[in-house]
Amino acid sequence: MEINPTTEAKELRPRATRAENRALRGRVAQLEARLREEGSLRGELREQLAQRQTFISQLAKAVPAALYIYSLATKTEVFLNDRLYQVLQYPSDEIGQLKPCLLEALMHPYDKRRLPMHHEKLRNAPAGSPVQMELRLRVQNGQWKWFRVQDTVFTRDAHGSPEQLLGTIQDINDEKDFTEKLIGQKEFYENILNNIPARISVFDVEQTCLFVNQREAARAAESQSIVGDSYAAYCQALQWDEATATRHQQQFRQALATRQEVTWEEAQATANHAPTHSLRKFYPVVNEREQVTYLIGYGVDITQRKQIEQQLADQQEFVRQVIEANPNPICVQDEAGHFILANDAYAELHHLTMAELLGRKAPAISLEHDLALLDSGASISFEVQHSRRDGQEAWYHTTKKPFTRPDGTRCLLTIAADITDLNRARVAAEDSVRAKEIFLANMSHEIRTPMNGIVGLSRLMKKQATTPEQGEYLDLILSNAESLLVVINDILDFAKIESGKVELETIPFDVAAIVHGTTKSLAFLAEAKGLLLQAEVHDDPLPIVEGDPVRLNQVLVNLINNAIKFTSAGEVTVTVDVSHHEADLVHLQFCVEDTGIGISADKFDRVFKSFGQANSSTSRLYGGTGLGLAICKNLIELQGGRIWLDSLPGQGSRFYFNLPFPVSTQAPLVREAPLPLAAGLLQGLRVLLVEDNPVNTFLARALLQSWEVEADVASDGEQALAIADASPYDLILMDIQMPRMNGLEATEQLRRLPNPNQQTPIIALTANAMKSDLDSYTQAGFTDCLVKPYHENSLYLTIARNTGRDVVPAPLPMPEPGSPTQSVPSYGFEGLGRLAHDASFVRKMQQLFVDTVPRQLVQLREAVLLHDWPAATLLVHALKSTYGNLQIDEAQRYMKKFEEILKKNPEAAMLLNLLRTISRVTTQITDVFNIQLCY
Ligand code: ADP
């Protein structure tokens, strides 16, 4: 320890006078005396000072604090105790170099700047009051450490201003560290709490607010601290309305009482904004003594979630309304088959309320089905019947479709549509189709039945005709009857197509042969009008294909017939090309081109419609029903093809159609022509004829008698059963429509019940030409069927075939006039070229002959009677070529003669004579053909 001695000021004096010197000597003496005095005083003082210094130094040693005395004037320490060195961790010799400005030398520059403020505080502090300051000093190892200095004014100058400070220094580094750590931790947690997207507050059990995080505090009206507030003040600060505040109070009390977390949601209205929604909680914090120490309040803004929930709910409501508004029953089932969505229509359908329906499963059988569907992922549609609440039956078309939801679960959607009315309409439509069929069948029956009589009796009469005129009249009757039958056949054909009852054949055939053959067979028609008819097969040889040659022929005949009919001069050309190949299919394109009247473009569609004729005058001028093209279109489309046309009025038409055919690897099928049968085959047979129509009975009986067949007659099914019960017959001819018991019923009973005719062949004699009817006859037990009006030869052959009398090949049984064994004029098919071996084509030719030639002969006769020589010439031309094609030489010879007479000197009587002979020959040929066509 050291005290600095005070220094005395020294004055320099100027040179003086003697008096002055004396005075000075006196003065010096005085001063010396005073000095001596003062010297002894100083000694005393020095003694006192030393004592005081010793005291202070001992005190400074005894005090367990680092002490210093600091002079504000010199900014130096006038005293430092050893403890200070220890505190500063400096050895005293080292620190000696820093004196007397030790503290300033070691002080952190930042703290140095704060010193004046500290001193200012001391100046203002009441006397004796210490003032503290925390500052950093560099300790011996060069590091900064925190110290707390506490200064008190030690001495003051004469004006009372602080002169010296007595200070203590305390090492607070650990304390500071600890505090900083504490503050750090506090900040850390507060940061977390402030940054949690939630409003957090903590209350003690007295409801005093202990903490609020920034989010919650931010809602306070003013930025005043709400920590320390009561709950009421807290609510007020947060501007909660009374209801919210009360609710919070209740929840608080509940959490406190139950020591359980309480959760609730609340909406708070905010000025000018949509309400905000919060999820609030109170967590009671319970100590180990099971006491609630404080409660944490927690609030999260769930406005967005609420908005999304609302949107979702709106969407769900929308979907629900859409489903609800749908009159069709709709439901959705989950993976277990529970109904999770349905509309009233669905609930109503199952006689349930919506509440009863939702959540429950479908009934067992249906559920099993539904679950299988869910598994398979396949959708199905079916029709099902439900009974309504009012007991009425309703039909629903139901579709079930599984689908996968975004969360991966599968659901089953069921939609049903009420088709009761539709079904009724369908049934009505079916009924009307059936009615139409029945009508057609009846019409056919009603026309064919008398026609059977007319045709049959005319033929019978023709055999007994005594004068040529009688023969001609009868031919006229026959020809007209046949025209009528063509119309009926067309209508039936069309009806069959419309009701989808056309059956297509699939056999290997030669398309080129059909095209050539059909063209050739119609050549006589073209020639009759002076037209050139030709066929061009461009890709000859065409491949053998599989399909229906009869239907192709039917289409071609129709188109060629039309072309000839609507062309007065020029030519008709039939072409066929390979359009393209596709896998094993060959697409053929056919075209029938003429130079006739043409069709205007606006009628193109119409002509393919049933009963559609280009002009209303067409039927007057050209005849026809308007069914031909509709039949063609249907037949072509049935075979997968298409028909269209191109035409210019006045210039001609082109009818195109294409057809796809599988290419065949087999040779074309040629049906063997049937062998002609001998006359007298049926002699001695016993036949039961069941027929209610007296004319038809008469006719059939006459025919049977002429063949020496013994015939018994029954006029209805009941009578037939009675007669058949009495004795066996070789064959039964059974009409279908009869009073009391019809032919179907009678046959069915004959087959079922024991009687002598249980195995007897039964032939249906029917005027119903519908195929469905023919099928039902076979099912009822009929052996065979003969469609009215039947040709006597057909009856003959049918009986022979079904009684085993057709086994002997023999010359054709052709009746002479008045006798059934007349010889037949010669004919042949070699003129048809390679088609001569195509049985179906030959048949077609025969049918054409039977259908057209007798009619043409009638027309020829009319022309002769009217002296219409041009018409007669055309007809002769056509007939001549037909006879030529079929090598009916006799008729052809007569026709040539006829032509010559016509050219030179047409005379009616001579021509009519000739015509009778030609007609006879023709009848003989048609008879033969008819027999052969019966096979
Ligand atoms: P139809 O000939 O019996 O009246 P179609 O169905 O065969 O019936 O023909 C329908 C209509 O198409 C005919 O009435 C006629 O107006 C028109 N038509 C058909 N073919 C031709 C053709 N080659 N030239 C001009 N018009 C035709």
Written as six digits, the tokens of 853 are 């030639």
Q: What percent of the chain has pLDDT over 90?
A: 22
Buried b / exposed e over 404-434, threshold 16 CB at 10 Å, is eeeeeeebbebbbbbbeeebeeeeeeeeeee
Q: Residue 563 CA: which ligand 1 atom is closest?
A: 23
Q: pLDDT at position 772, please?
A: 58
pLDDT top residue among 527 and 844? 527
Is residue 678 over pLDDT 80?
A: no
Q: What is the pLDDT of residues 38-86, one digit of tens each?
A: 778 878 877 887 887 788 777 777 777 788 889 998 989 888 887 888 8
End-to-end CA distance of the chain: 158
Q: pLDDT at position 576, please?
A: 94
Q: What is the pLDDT of residues 267-281, one digit of tens each?
A: 877 666 677 888 999
Spacing, Cα 543 to ligand 1 middle (Å): 31
Spacing, Cα 478 to ligand 1 middle (Å): 27
CA distance 385 to 871: 67
Is residue 582 over pLDDT 70?
A: yes
Mean pLDDT over the full length of the chain: 82
Spacing, Cα 99 to ligand 1 middle (Å): 139
Q: pLDDT at position 5, please?
A: 43
Is residue 238 over pLDDT 50?
A: yes
pLDDT top residue among 357 and 99? 357
Spacing, Cα 828 to ligand 1 middle (Å): 33
Q: What is the pLDDT of residues 820-849, one digit of tens each?
A: 333 456 777 766 655 666 666 677 778 888
Q: What is the pLDDT of residues 324-356, one digit of tens each?
A: 888 899 999 998 889 998 998 998 888 888 888
Q: What is the pLDDT of residues 160-194, one digit of tens each?
A: 889 999 999 988 888 888 888 888 888 888 888 88
Q: With cut-offs at 50, 70 and 90, classify the pLDDT of residue 793.
A: confident
Is residue 133 over pLDDT 90?
A: yes
Q: Which of 108-117, 426-435, 657-666 comes out lowest in average pLDDT?
A: 426-435
For a mutational test of ligand 1's pocket, the pick from 629, 636, 655, i.e. the residue with the most ligand atoms closer than 8 A to its C-beta, is 629
Helices (H), 380-467: 420-464
Q: pLDDT at position 614, please?
A: 64
Q: pLDDT at position 586, please?
A: 93
Spacing, Cα 771 to ligand 1 middle (Å): 28
Q: With cut-offs at 50, 70 and 90, classify the pLDDT of residue 603.
A: confident
Neighbour tally for 896: CB within 10 Å:
14
Q: With cut-offs at 50, 70 and 90, classify the pLDDT of residue 589.
A: very high
Q: pLDDT at position 809, please?
A: 37
Q: What is the mean pLDDT of residues 667-680?
A: 53
Query: Atom 4 (ligand 1): residue with closest C-alpha?
Result: 626
Closest CA to 934 of 721, 823, 787: 787
Element (H, E) at 642: strand 642-648
Spacing, Cα 646 to ligand 1 middle (Å): 13
Spacing, Cα 390 to ligand 1 middle (Å): 56
Q: pLDDT at position 121, please?
A: 92
Residue 304 half-sphere exposure toward CB, CA atoms < 13 A: 2
Q: With cut-offs at 50, 70 and 90, classify the pLDDT of residue 674.
A: very low
Q: pLDDT at position 836, please?
A: 62
Q: pLDDT at position 815, please?
A: 35
Q: Residue 608 CA: which ligand 1 atom is closest?
A: 6
Q: With cut-offs at 50, 70 and 90, classify the pLDDT of residue 656.
A: very high
Query: Atom 13 (ligand 1): residue with closest C-alpha?
Result: 613
Spacing, Cα 511 to ligand 1 middle (Å): 24
Please tell me whether the peptide bond between 100 and the residue prior to it is cis, using omega within 30 degrees of 0. Answer: yes
Q: pLDDT at position 680, please?
A: 73
Q: pLDDT at position 670, please?
A: 52
Q: pLDDT at position 8, please?
A: 43
Q: Residue 596 CA: which ligand 1 atom is closest?
A: 24
Query: Atom 25 (ligand 1): residue with closest C-alpha?
Result: 598
Q: pLDDT at position 227, please?
A: 83
Is residue 808 over pLDDT 50?
A: no
Range with the largest mean pLDDT of 3-17, 600-614, 805-819: 600-614
Q: pLDDT at position 824, please?
A: 58
For a mutational test of ligand 1's pocket, the pick from 618, 622, 657, i.e. the residue with the most ligand atoms closer than 8 A to its C-beta, is 618
CA distances from 474 to 97, 145, 176, 796 (A): 167, 149, 144, 22
Is residue 716 over pLDDT 80?
A: yes
Q: With cut-offs at 50, 70 and 90, classify the pLDDT of residue 864.
A: confident
State whether residue 775 is helix, strand or coil: helix
Spacing, Cα 111 to ligand 1 middle (Å): 122
Helices (H), 133-224: 173-195, 214-217
Using the Cα atoms of residue 460, residue 466, residue 472 and residue 477 in order, give the sign of their dihedral.
Answer: negative
Q: Which of 128-137, 323-332, 923-932 comes out lowest in average pLDDT?
A: 923-932
Q: What percent of the chain has pLDDT over 70?
A: 87
Q: What is the mean pLDDT of residues 413-439?
A: 83
Q: Residue 615 CA: which ligand 1 atom is closest?
A: 16
Is residue 874 over pLDDT 50?
A: yes
CA distance 9 to 28: 17
Q: Ligand 1: residues within 6 Å at CB?
A: 562-563, 566, 594, 596-599, 607, 612-615, 618, 624-630, 653
Buried b / exposed e over 908-918, threshold 16 CB at 10 Å, is eeebbebbbbb
Q: What is the mean pLDDT of residues 597-605?
A: 91
Query: Atom 23 (ligand 1): residue with closest C-alpha?
Result: 563
Is residue 612 over pLDDT 70?
A: no
Q: What is the pLDDT of residues 553-579, one digit of tens each?
A: 889 988 998 999 999 999 999 999 999
pLDDT top residue among 430 and 402? 402
Is residue 664 over pLDDT 80?
A: yes
